[in-house]
Amino acid sequence: MHSLYSGYNRSLRIVPISIFLFLVIYSCKTDPPIYKIHNLNADVISVFGHAGMGLAFKYPIDTYESIEPVLRIGADGSEMDIQMTKDSVLMIYHHHFIEEMTLCDPGIINDKLWSEIWGCHITSPFSSSIRLISFNELMDELTASGKNIRDYIYTFDCKLYTNAVDPTPFFNQYANAVLKAIDDYGLQNNILIESQDTDFLRIIQNKRSGLKLFIYPASFEDGIQIASEMNLFGITINTNNISADQIELAHDAGFRVTLWGIGTKQENTDAIQKSPDYIQTDKPIELLKVFQKYKGF
């Protein structure tokens, strides 16, 4: 009787433990909606920082101080805003006018020589040493820090700001500068080029085939039409302007999709569930943790 009772007692203890272990194991499983990725990027979503660590980071966007950390913590690359000086130097800068984020003399970058803005400091409450930087300087500094620059993807958001009445010569000059940067650093497979201007995209497309060109449209319908007509590599679009079904349509047509406009943890999750190829996020740490790629800060 004692033996039967103690065996029954043991079974009572085993059952709750078994249930507990089942619940622990089940809760640790990957959430299916998040990880069922189907895209043209080998069913993997590449994580890109938005102009580095994003808008919420303590250092300004489009600076070495913001771009280097996002690569260090595990991102696949970074989006960056690219402008061009009068003498064909590619600068990493977002705003239309220099004075909006720097202490430089007012104007636009395309009206300035590199020598006129070299060393120009960016306004930052955290450091007075942060300066406007060229793409070449970024590549050189990343290399000096021990990184292999060909391990990352760099998305050029082409800011085509110019005061030229006829922008065609400017577009040609800009396209040549981008191609020179690609060739100088051996980045043929590492640069995604996105623009809202189809004339510019046609010019650079005619200069060299095989470039990874993205249209940056206001709507999915515009994007898919332009990408189809021009045989582009993909579409870059605000996550609010495209659905999971539309991304699937883009994939069926052979176009990659980059999502941007992602600034919260929930927006990261929502973007993942649409199965894009690339995500540009202002919350890279959270997104990297979801994919178990976060290397620590």
CATH number at residue 46: 3.20.20.190
Do 2 and 148 lie in one domain? The reply is no
User: What pLDDT sits at residue 20?
Assistant: 47
Chain centroid offset of residue 225 CA: 23
Q: Which helix (H) or strand (E) holds 28?
A: helix 2-28
Length of the chain in terms of residues written: 297
User: Tokens 């800009």 appear where?
Assistant: 174
Q: Is residue 297 part of a domain?
A: no
**Helices 168-185, 135-144: inter-axial angle, 10-degree rounding:** 10
Do 199 and 168 lie in one domain? The reply is yes
Do 163 and 210 lie in one domain? The reply is yes
Q: Is residue 296 part of a domain?
A: no
User: Tokens 């500094």 appear where?
Assistant: 141
The closest alpha carbon to 284, from 152, 188, 92, 131, belongs to: 152
User: What pLDDT sits at residue 127?
Assistant: 86
Do 22 and 44 lie in one domain? The reply is no
User: What pLDDT sits at residue 125?
Assistant: 87
Q: Is residue 137 part of a domain?
A: yes
Contacts of 146 (CB under 8 A, 6+ apart): none
Residue 281 has φ and ψ, to the nearest 5°, of: -125, 150
Do 66 and 5 lie in one domain? The reply is no
pTM: 0.88
User: Tokens 């919420």 appear where?
Assistant: 56
Give the range of the structural domain holding residue 224, as residue numbers without chain letter.
31-290
Do 143 and 229 lie in one domain? The reply is yes
Q: Are strands 153-158 and 191-195 parallel, antiparallel or unpaired?
A: parallel
pLDDT tens series, the chain, 297 aa: 444 444 444 444 444 555 444 444 444 444 444 568 999 999 999 999 999 999 999 999 999 999 999 999 999 999 999 999 999 999 999 999 999 999 899 999 999 999 999 989 999 888 889 999 999 999 999 999 999 999 999 999 999 999 999 999 999 999 999 999 999 999 999 999 999 999 999 999 999 999 999 999 999 999 999 999 999 999 999 999 999 999 999 999 999 999 999 999 999 999 999 999 999 999 999 999 999 999 998
Residue 164 has φ and ψ, to the nearest 5°, of: -65, 135
User: Tokens 């992602």 appear where?
Assistant: 262
Do 98 and 10 lie in one domain? The reply is no
Residue 33 has φ and ψ, to the nearest 5°, of: -60, -30
User: What pLDDT sits at residue 191?
Assistant: 98
Q: Is residue 221 part of a domain?
A: yes
Do 7 and 35 lie in one domain? The reply is no
Q: Is residue 266 part of a domain?
A: yes
User: What pLDDT sits at residue 3?
Assistant: 46
Residue 16 amino acid letter: P
User: Tokens 């400017």 appear where?
Assistant: 170
Do 2 and 135 lie in one domain? The reply is no
User: What pLDDT sits at residue 17?
Assistant: 52
Do 134 and 26 lie in one domain? The reply is no
For the chain, the domain total comes to 2
Do 126 and 212 lie in one domain? The reply is yes
How far apart, in whole angstroms, are the C-alpha atoms of residue 71 and residue 74? 6
Q: Which residues pair with 256 in a beta bridge?
A: 234
Do 70 and 198 lie in one domain? The reply is yes
